[in-house]
């Protein structure tokens, strides 16, 4: 990990000014992900661009280009479909296992056995229980929560039937999934079946393999991820809009800094709460600090931002740089999107890296396991450890003086409330605004950062381009933090919005770009679009709506699962940045576009050129408006020349 000189200028690497500041000013001799991305190029065959690689048996790895086949005779299309199905299964497993843990925790909280965790949102619990078919009338909250936990847990191992939460989808969509035989039976069952069918010598027809991948992804979006979101709301409260600040400048030079990172809201929520405890603050002061500053990275940050207004200091590509500010006493990581490099990096700094999940250990980190009944005790121990470590902080820190205001905390419930008011909470005003053209459509811009593309650039470019054309933008995950860091999630962002969108946002009092949460919270988008269909006037299925999804800087396998469940829920989805690893197979690309469009009314494709992607999304949404006969009001023409040219080619 010896540092090599970066070949690119900081401004070419990232759009985040704090990241650029760190790249210019940090003095470490240790390489970051940005140098490693320059020194190691991706394998064109392994990444599925100019060929495909199979290592599903010991006769391989087989590297396939053109008409060649593997030793067993497997073709490019079969291998591409198998590889993609396995990626989707891994992504679905990650989200769903997260959901399973929360389900288990809710059961313990109901029994009073989960230290520091209780049922916070009773209304949401009742709605959730009813969706699971659980009787709620006249019953104690904890009794309902216990049964809801047991019922939810059973959905993971269920072998037949349907996952109850699919009932949230419009009826027409449910019927379609039944007809196509992709209705998820149980969350785990579908993941296991992908692993079986992609073992050497089992399923060999690309479309048939992908049918099972679709069923697995639907079991994630409408199962594992949705369970995770619903139960997080029940245990830690359903988000409401709140103000916060973001970026590395939110690290304090005179307080004890604790960074929570990963994806789980459990221990991080307890740490954030306990850091306000007088006894803890007094202890910090006794060690010379002015207080305790809890901040976050990635989706753990999104979870505590949405509910407690805790500052997110960065997204995926900022994690190493946070430590390099020399100001972090403790970084607590749980699961997913944590770079292994943090282990070696923290050896060079005073920062203590703590792994807290039984599922994740990192060489170089201290493992302090979060168990069902030790939340408060562990949080106290971690905070005290951070305070004790404050005296080891070097005198000179390197914190960029860069921060931005944001408003986060938009849930399905809070958006409905903002639109319709407490007593008539409804999506009607949104539907009406879409019908009369003040809002042209809704675009979800979600997903990761990727060190092989300019950090945050595509997220922010697309967000600005859509809001100026009157498209409401909803965001989750690291994409949401990109927009927040450049000021697109506050009322001042209104100046970038088109007239129609601005008029709605000003009336309702919301920014033109809405932060809907972490990556599991993409399930919130599914519940919002389902409610919009039910509200009426925009067709009777999700595929009728003028909406689209984009993951412009995607990186993780979870993104592939998300893209698949959104596409097969009836939405046009485009990925950019790095290709989906099936580019070399025209057969698989055809299935994911033309065939999925015929079968599900949505598709998933990769478009390298960002202006071409922008034009394609606009074209798809405008076609939906036309089909709904709401295209009479002309869209404002704000295209630059490049976008116009791309539009002609669509």
Binding site for ligand SF4 (CB under 6 A): 54-57, 59-62, 70-72, 74, 79, 200
Of residues 312 and 437, the one with the C-beta less far from ligand MSK: 312
Residue 639 interacts with which of ligand SF4, ligand MSK, none, CB < 5 to 8 Å by class? none
Shortest Cβ 263–ligand SF4 spacing (Å): 32
- Coil, helix or strand for 404? strand
Of residues 70 and 517, the one with the C-beta less far from ligand MSK: 517
Of residues 298 and 443, the one with the C-beta less far from ligand MSK: 298
Shortest Cβ 202–ligand SF4 spacing (Å): 10
Residue 478 interacts with which of ligand SF4, ligand MSK, none, CB < 5 to 8 Å by class? ligand MSK
Shortest Cβ 197–ligand MSK spacing (Å): 25
Residue 299 interacts with which of ligand MSK, ligand SF4, none, CB < 5 to 8 Å by class? ligand MSK
Radius of gyration of the chain (CA): 24
Token readout for 494 is 């209104």
Shortest Cβ 357–ligand MSK spacing (Å): 15
Q: What is the DSSP secondary structure assignment for residue 452, as one 8-state letter?
A: T
Shortest Cβ 73–ligand SF4 spacing (Å): 7
Of residues 60 and 420, the one with the C-beta less far from ligand SF4: 60
Name which of 484, 485, 260, 513 is nearest 386 in CA terms. 260
**Cα–Cα distance for residue pair 606/553, rounded to 1 Å:** 11
Of residues 64 and 117, the one with the C-beta less far from ligand SF4: 64
Shortest Cβ 62–ligand SF4 spacing (Å): 3
Burial of 579 (0-12, 13-18, 19+ CB in 10 A): middle
Residue 106 interacts with which of ligand SF4, ligand MSK, none, CB < 5 to 8 Å by class? none
The residue ranges that bind ligand MSK (CB under 6 A) are: 263, 298-299, 315-316, 336-337, 447-448, 477-478, 518-519, 555-556, 558
DSSP line for 567-585: HTTT-EEEE-SSPPTTTT-
Shortest Cβ 553–ligand MSK spacing (Å): 9
Q: Residues 601, 543: contact at Cβ < 8 Å?
A: yes
- How crowded is the C-beta side of 510, counted as CA atoms within 13 Å? 25
Q: Which residues contact 113 (CB under 8 A, 6 or more apart)?
A: 372, 373
Q: Residues 551, 263: contact at Cβ < 8 Å?
A: no
Of residues 267 and 439, the one with the C-beta less far from ligand MSK: 267
Shortest Cβ 119–ligand MSK spacing (Å): 25
Residue 364 interacts with which of ligand MSK, ligand SF4, none, CB < 5 to 8 Å by class? none
Shortest Cβ 158–ligand MSK spacing (Å): 26
Residue 447 interacts with which of ligand MSK, ligand SF4, none, CB < 5 to 8 Å by class? ligand MSK
DSSP line for 297-340: EHHHHHHHHHHH-PEEEE-GGGHHHHHHTT--SEEEE-SSS--T
CA angle 616, 580, 15 (to 5 degrees): 70
Sheet containing 441-445: give its strands across: 513-515, 471-475, 441-445, 547-551, 572-575, 603-606
CA angle 405, 406, 409 (to 5 degrees): 155
Shortest Cβ 52–ligand SF4 spacing (Å): 9
Q: Rounded to the nearest 5°, which phi and psi values hold at 510?
A: -130, 155
Residue 425 interacts with which of ligand MSK, ligand SF4, none, CB < 5 to 8 Å by class? none
- How crowded is the C-beta side of 227, counted as CA atoms within 13 Å? 34
Residue 510 interacts with which of ligand MSK, ligand SF4, none, CB < 5 to 8 Å by class? none
Residue 324 interacts with which of ligand SF4, ligand MSK, none, CB < 5 to 8 Å by class? none
Residue 74 interacts with which of ligand MSK, ligand SF4, none, CB < 5 to 8 Å by class? ligand SF4
Of residues 69 and 425, the one with the C-beta less far from ligand SF4: 69
Of residues 149 and 225, the one with the C-beta less far from ligand MSK: 225
Q: Residues 303, 337: contact at Cβ < 8 Å?
A: no
Of residues 44 and 61, the one with the C-beta less far from ligand SF4: 61
Of residues 56 and 293, the one with the C-beta less far from ligand SF4: 56
DSSP line for 618-649: HHHHHHHHHHTT---SPPP----HHHHHHHHH
Residue 70 interacts with which of ligand SF4, ligand MSK, none, CB < 5 to 8 Å by class? ligand SF4
Residue 72 interacts with which of ligand SF4, ligand MSK, none, CB < 5 to 8 Å by class? ligand SF4
Residue 542 interacts with which of ligand SF4, ligand MSK, none, CB < 5 to 8 Å by class? none
Of residues 170 and 517, the one with the C-beta less far from ligand MSK: 517
Q: Which helix (H) or strand (E) holds 105?
A: helix 76-110
Of residues 256 and 448, the one with the C-beta less far from ligand MSK: 448
The DSSP bridge pattern shows strands 404-408 and 242-246 to be: antiparallel
Shortest Cβ 33–ligand MSK spacing (Å): 12
Dihedral, CA of residue 525, residue 527, residue 530 and residue 532, to nearest 10: -70
What is the distance, to the nearest Å, from the Cα of residue 552 to the centroid of all Cα atoms in its chain?
Answer: 12
CA distances to 112, 127, 339 from 118, in Å: 7, 17, 31
**Beta-bridge mates of residue 282:** none
Residue 597 interacts with which of ligand MSK, ligand SF4, none, CB < 5 to 8 Å by class? none
Of residues 477 and 498, the one with the C-beta less far from ligand MSK: 477
Shortest Cβ 37–ligand MSK spacing (Å): 15
Of residues 199 and 424, the one with the C-beta less far from ligand SF4: 199
Token readout for 541 is 């299925």
**Cα–Cα distance for residue pair 577/601, rounded to 1 Å:** 24
Shortest Cβ 216–ligand MSK spacing (Å): 17
Of residues 337 and 439, the one with the C-beta less far from ligand MSK: 337
Shortest Cβ 67–ligand SF4 spacing (Å): 14
Residue with tokens 């008011």: 421
Q: Residues 542, 169: contact at Cβ < 8 Å?
A: yes
**Beta-bridge mates of residue 246:** 404
Beta carbons within 10 angstroms of residue 424's beta carbon: 11
Shortest Cβ 219–ligand MSK spacing (Å): 18
Residue 216 interacts with which of ligand MSK, ligand SF4, none, CB < 5 to 8 Å by class? none
């Amino acid at each position: 990990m010896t540092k090599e000189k970066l070949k690119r200028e900081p401004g070419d690497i990232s759009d985040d000014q704090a990241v650029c500041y760190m790249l210019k000013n940090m003095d470490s001799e240790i390489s970051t992900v940005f140098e490693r991305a320059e020194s190691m190029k991706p394998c064109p065959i392994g990444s599925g661009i100019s060929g495909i690689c199979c290592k599903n048996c010991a006769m391989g790895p087989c590297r396939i280009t053109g008409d060649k086949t593997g030793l067993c005779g497997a073709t490019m299309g079969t291998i591409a479909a198998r590889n993609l199905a396995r990626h989707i299964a891994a992504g679905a497993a990650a989200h769903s296992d997260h959901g399973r843990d929360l389900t288990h925790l809710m059961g313990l909280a109901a029994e009073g056995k989960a230290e520091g965790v209780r049922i916070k949102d009773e209304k949401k619990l009742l709605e959730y229980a009813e969706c699971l078919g659980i009787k709620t009338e006249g019953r104690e909250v904890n009794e309902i929560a216990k049964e809801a936990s047991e019922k939810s847990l059973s959905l993971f191992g269920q072998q037949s039937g349907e996952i109850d939460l699919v009932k949230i989808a419009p009826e027409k969509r449910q019927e379609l999934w039944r007809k196509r035989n992709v209705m998820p039976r149980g969350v785990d069952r579908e993941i296991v079946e992908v692993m079986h069918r992609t073992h050497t010598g089992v399923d060999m027809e690309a479309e048939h393999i992908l049918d099972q991948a679709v069923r697995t992804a639907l079991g994630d979006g409408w199962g594992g991820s949705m369970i995770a979101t619903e139960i997080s709301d029940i245990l830690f409260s359903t988000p409401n809009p709140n103000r916060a600040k973001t970026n590395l400048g939110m690290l304090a030079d005179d307080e004890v800094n604790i960074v929570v990172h990963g994806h789980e809201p459990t221990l991080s929520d307890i740490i954030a709460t306990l850091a306000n405890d007088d006894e803890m603050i007094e202890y910090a002061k006794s060690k010379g600090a002015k207080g305790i500053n809890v901040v976050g990275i990635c989706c753990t940050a999104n979870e505590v931002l949405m509910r407690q207004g805790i500052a997110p200091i960065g997204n995926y590509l900022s994690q190493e740089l946070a430590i390099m500010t020399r100001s972090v006493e403790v970084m607590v990581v749980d699961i997913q999107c944590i770079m292994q490099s943090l282990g070696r990096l923290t050896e060079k700094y005073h920062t203590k890296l703590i792994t807290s999940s039984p599922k994740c250990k990192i060489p170089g980190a201290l493992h302090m396991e979060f168990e069902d009944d030790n939340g408060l005790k562990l949080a106290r121990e971690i905070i005290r450890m951070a305070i004790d470590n404050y005296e080891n902080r070097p005198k000179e820190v390197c914190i960029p003086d860069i921060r931005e205001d944001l408003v986060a905390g938009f849930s399905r419930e809070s958006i409905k409330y903002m639109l319709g008011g407490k007593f008539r909470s409804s999506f009607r005003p949104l539907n009406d605004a879409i019908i009369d053209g003040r809002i042209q459509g809704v675009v979800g811009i979600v997903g990761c950062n990727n060190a092989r593309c300019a950090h945050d650039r595509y997220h922010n470019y697309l967000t600005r381009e859509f809001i100026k054309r009157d498209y409401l933008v909803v965001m989750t995950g690291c994409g949401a933090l990109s927009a927040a860091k450049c000021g697109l999630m506050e009322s001042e962002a209104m100046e970038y919005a088109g007239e129609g969108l601005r008029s709605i946002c000003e009336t309702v009092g919301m920014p033109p770009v809405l932060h809907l949460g972490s990556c599991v919270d993409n399930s919130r988008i599914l519940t919002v679009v389902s409610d919009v269909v039910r509200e009426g006037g925009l067709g009777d299925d999700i595929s009728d709506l003028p909406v689209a999804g984009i993951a412009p800087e995607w990186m993780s396998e979870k993104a592939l699962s998300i893209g698949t469940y959104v596409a097969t829920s009836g939405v046009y989805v485009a990925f950019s940045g790095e290709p989906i690893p099936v580019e070399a197979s025209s057969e698989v690309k055809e299935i994911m576009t033309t065939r999925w469009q015929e079968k599900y009314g949505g598709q998933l494709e990769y478009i390298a050129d960002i202006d071409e992607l922008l034009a394609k999304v606009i074209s798809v949404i405008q076609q939906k408006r036309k089909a709904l006969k709401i295209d009479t009001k002309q869209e404002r023409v704000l295209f630059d020349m490049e976008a116009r040219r791309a539009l002609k080619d669509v």
